[in-house]
Structure 1
Amino acid sequence: MFGTMQRGVGAYAKVGLETGVAAASPHKLIIMLYDGAMVALLSAINNMKGTNGAANVAAKGASISKAITIIDNGLRASLDKAAGGEIAQNLDALYDYMSRRLLQANIKNDVAAVEEVHGLMSDLREAWVAIGEKNEQPDAPAVPAMQKTTLVSV
């Protein structure tokens, strides 16, 4: 009558994600794309290896397709090649390499190739996080810090 608990949890998670996306800065959105791609790649690896000894080919394919979509339609599409210059061009080439590598990994069931792309994603994510931390400025206090005083009773 009211649906399953799993369905409710899934709906709650979706609302949480949508709220996070709506409130996120462009920098945070890129990190979220990296996170999504990396989760999809880990899922693909797990489905290729099979947790119970049997690989799940359909789930592996869906996970790899999701990662490729995030790379091509999220990360790659967000590049501003005119403003980004050589860095944007290099990232575009790297994203293209990752997509092609994942396509081949899917066809050949190559766990090592998926792990390679996951490692590249992890490195890029770490660099992106470091850039964000460097650009964050600590907020100046609105009111100067007050000195602590001690009351003495007489």
Structure 2
Amino acid sequence: MSFGLATRRAASVYAEVGVETGVSTADPHKLILMLFEGALLQIGTAGIAMDNKDIPTKGTATSKAIEIITNGLKVSLDYEAGGELAERLGALYDYMTQRLLYANLNNSRPALDEVARLLNELKGAWEEIGTYDQANR
């Protein structure tokens, strides 16, 4: 799958879950950042709902976060160009999805926090790539 097709698919998923607007005009780098932000927003919402014992909101937010990770971030990986790094990121996204499912089923705040920490680390690295790329143009 080409990166362009993957990013269009990721944009479609992002728009479907209604996390943010402006997806259609975002460049590929910005789109990935928006996906990270959207997933983190949904995890934050799930955490608040969990704390408030709001089961429907927790479930909806967790489902949206999983959707963004699996059908946004993961599908945007280019396994041909990315090789082992893309494979490892894909496996990490699968792990995050499993942890979110666990968090939802078991009301586990530590599992939610773990996924949020991992996403924040990846988001920070992605931001650095963008900063480096713009500085070297």
TM-score range, shorter chain: 0.7 to 0.9
1:30 to 2:28 alignment: no
Distance apart, 1:22 and its partner CA: 2.0
Aligned residues: 119
**2:51 matched residue in structure 1:** 49
Which of the numbers 75, 80, 83 marks the counterpart of 1:77? 75
Identify unmatched segments of 5+ residues in structure 1: 1-13, 140-154
**2:62 matched residue in structure 1:** 64
Give deviations 1:63-87, integer Å, cap 9, x for gaps. 0000000000000011111110111
Greater helix share, 1 or 2? 2
Cα distance in 1 between the residues matched to 2:63 and 2:118: 17
Q: What is the 5 A alignment of 1:1-12?
A: none
Distance apart, 1:24 and its partner CA: 1.1
Q: What is the 5 A alignment of 1:87-102?
A: 87-102=85-100
Cα distance in 2 between the residues matched to 1:114 and 1:42: 8
Q: Which structure's CA Rg is the greater one?
A: 1
Percent identity, aligned pairs only, is: 46
What amino acid is aligned across from residue 118 of structure 1 in structure 2?
Answer: A
Return the TM-score normalized by structure 1: 0.74
**1:112 matched residue in structure 2:** 110
Give deviations 1:35-74, integer Å, cap 9, x for gaps. 0000000000000011xxxx10010000000000000000
Cα distance in 1 between the residues matched to 2:50 and 2:93: 22
Higher relative contact order at CA 8 Å, sep ≥6: structure 1 or structure 2?
Answer: 2
Distance apart, 1:119 and its partner CA: 0.5
Identify unmatched segments of 5+ residues in structure 2: 1-17
Return the TM-score normalized by structure 2: 0.83
* Cα RMSD after superposing both structures: 1.5
**1:148 matched residue in structure 2:** none
